[in-house]
Copies of this chain bind each other. A is one copy, B any other.
């Protein structure tokens, strides 16, 4: 992506599926955009598919195939966003706002990788800048792009956010992401209703929160924002309530030891056993994981007289890929066995001030022990500590830690 263009009145806005779930809502968004253009702003607006459109399409596909061809599935799913951008453009036109709707292909959003979870490699920013000469609003279909063979691809989970942030990076403009929640809270309010709103958050903290199950914004989006130093505002659609700014760490005034507590229930705990230590097997395993684009974390490995045992955690959405990998490994290593468990959860305590302030780990350990919550694995990073615990203890653990750290 190129960074040369700085047009100070450009803003990137993204509205998620619930913000455009029916024509009344699209119309409300359109009126809001009109106000913003009257304020002399040039807007790039990224939208998702309307409400349950993607689910409907997926249900249709399930009725015809259990393992749908991925390239065709990507082509199908992208029609959802293409419909939203068309409707929004029709309504803006009737409001006398000059807009142009563009698919991922038209906006030159180039991707690489698997059809259904591609990554953006390039955006035709010149075409966008050119379009601003005659339009105040450029509407972009989120979640989609085209690969080197001009095939349609989707960006996977949270893809429309990635589209928005990548556009912001390409145009060096701030990014506002609107959903049905008022930004980021210290933890999931459904688990701990007293949780406090976070006004400012560093990219790094947000990345940890995202990857650890908070679900407000996918890691990939925040990663791009951090790499290009693009501030992101997370707000509630058409609300005056204060949202959350995600920004560089050094611009945040008050650094807390612990900013948030996250719980990831969508996790799979996989254990692989082989009667002897074999590095070739491990090599093939990691090659396959990379090829299938399975992200694993919290790896532990035991080698003893019983042979080799390796355990790791991963998103439970990647189960299919893991099955494929083990089938292939079994061909070369018939004695291999594996076990996959969904009964665990990952509990994480995140805070960019954690490193400078001692005692966080100690407080967490004490709290878990005091509440009789066993943990099976622990990992630490610069700004987080994570524990594998039993799923059934997850909510209780979050509540206890929120009280301890005043989250």
Q: Scan A168-205; emit 1 where CB is below 8 A from any B CB, else 0.
A: 00000000000000000000000000000000000000
Does A64 contact B27, Cβ atoms closer than 8 Å?
yes
Does A101 contact B75, Cβ atoms closer than 8 Å?
yes
Does B90 contact A69, Cβ atoms closer than 8 Å?
yes
Q: Which one of A34-42, A76-84, A225-233 is at the interface? A: A76-84
Does B60 contact A87, Cβ atoms closer than 8 Å?
yes
Residue from A61, A63, A64, A82 whose CB has the most chain B CB atoms within 10 Å? A64
Given the known interface contacts A75-B101, A101-B72, the answer about A64 and B83 at a Cβ–Cβ threshold of 8 Å is: no
Given the known interface contacts A79-B83, A83-B79, the answer about A91 and B65 at a Cβ–Cβ threshold of 8 Å is: yes
Shortest beta-carbon distance from A74 to chain B in Å: 8
Tell yes or no: A265 within 8 A of B by CB.
Answer: no
Closest B residue to A26 by beta carbon equals: B64
Tell yes or no: A68 within 8 A of B by CB.
Answer: yes
Does A90 contact B61, Cβ atoms closer than 8 Å?
yes
Closest B residue to A61 by beta carbon equals: B90
Tell yes or no: A93 within 8 A of B by CB.
Answer: yes
Q: Point out the residues of chain B lying under 8 angstroms from A72, CB to CB.
A: 85-87, 89-90, 93, 101
Tell yes or no: A360 within 8 A of B by CB.
Answer: no
Given the known interface contacts A89-B69, A106-B150, the answer about A75 and B82 at a Cβ–Cβ threshold of 8 Å is: yes
Q: A72-B89, A78-B82 are in contact. List 17 more A-B contacts (CB 8 A).
A: A23-B63, A23-B64, A57-B83, A64-B87, A64-B94, A65-B90, A68-B90, A69-B89, A72-B86, A72-B87, A72-B93, A72-B101, A73-B90, A76-B86, A76-B87, A76-B90, A79-B82
**In the docked arrangement, what's the CA distance between A63 and B90, Å?**
11
Q: Scan A38-73; emit 1 where CB is below 8 A from any B CB, else 0.
A: 000000000000000000010011011101110111
**In the docked arrangement, what's the CA distance between A345 and B292, Å?**
64
Tell yes or no: A19 within 8 A of B by CB.
Answer: no
Does A64 contact B76, Cβ atoms closer than 8 Å?
no
Tell yes or no: A313 within 8 A of B by CB.
Answer: no
Q: Scan A329-366; emit 1 where CB is below 8 A from any B CB, else 0.
A: 00000000000000000000000000000000000000
Does A86 contact B94, Cβ atoms closer than 8 Å?
no
The 8 closest A-B pairs by CB, nearest first: A76-B86, A69-B93, A72-B89, A79-B79, A75-B86, A72-B86, A72-B90, A68-B90
**In the docked arrangement, what's the CA distance between A105 and B150, Å?**
10
Shortest beta-carbon distance from A142 to chain B in Å: 15
User: Using a CB-CB cutoff of 8 Å, which residues 83-132 of chain A contact chain B?
Assistant: 83, 85-87, 89-91, 93-94, 100-101, 103, 105-106
Q: Point out the residues of chain B lying under 8 angstroms from A90, CB to CB.
A: 61, 64-65, 68-69, 72-73, 76
Closest B residue to A150 by beta carbon equals: B106
Q: Which of B67, B73, B85 contacts A75 (CB 8 A)?
A: B85
**In the docked arrangement, what's the CA distance between A59 and B101, Å?**
20
**In the docked arrangement, what's the CA distance between A194 and B72, Å?**
45
**In the docked arrangement, what's the CA distance between A23 and B63, Å?**
8
**In the docked arrangement, what's the CA distance between A67 and B91, Å?**
10
Q: Point out the residues of chain B lying under 8 angstroms from A65, CB to CB.
A: 90-91, 93-94
Q: Point out the residues of chain B lying under 8 angstroms from A103, CB to CB.
A: 75, 152
Q: Point out the residues of chain B lying under 8 angstroms from A68, CB to CB.
A: 90, 93
Q: Point out the residues of chain B lying under 8 angstroms from A27, CB to CB.
A: 64
Closest B residue to A68 by beta carbon equals: B90
Shortest beta-carbon distance from A26 to chain B in Å: 8
Closest B residue to A67 by beta carbon equals: B94
